[in-house]
Amino acid sequence: MEKLTATVTVTEPGEHVLRLFMTDPAIAVDQIVIDTGGVPASYLAPPQSYHRVFNPGPVLQER
């Protein structure tokens, strides 16, 4: 496994889109971490966050 990093500078507030394009079918992306500040340096990624509209999170079953 190889860890790659890139820096993208955003100069204006608002909605932004990150697009990934497949150039080689043998390469897989396991996770993407977008650090807007405050993520400690680590080989492991922070816990997954959920968007309340697109991915509301795990459904808790009532007992």
Query: What is the tens place of the pLDDT at every residue in 3-50?
Result: 788 888 889 988 888 888 989 988 888 888 887 777 777 767 777 777
> How would DSSP label each residue in the chain?
-----------S-S--------S-TT---------SS-PPP-SSPPPPP--TTT---PPPPP-
pLDDT of residue 12: 92
Residue whose token pair is 């997954």:
48
pTM of the model: 0.53
Go through 39-60 and write b for each residue having 16 or more CB atoms within 10 A of its CB, e for each that does not: eeeeeeeeeeeeeeeeeeeeee
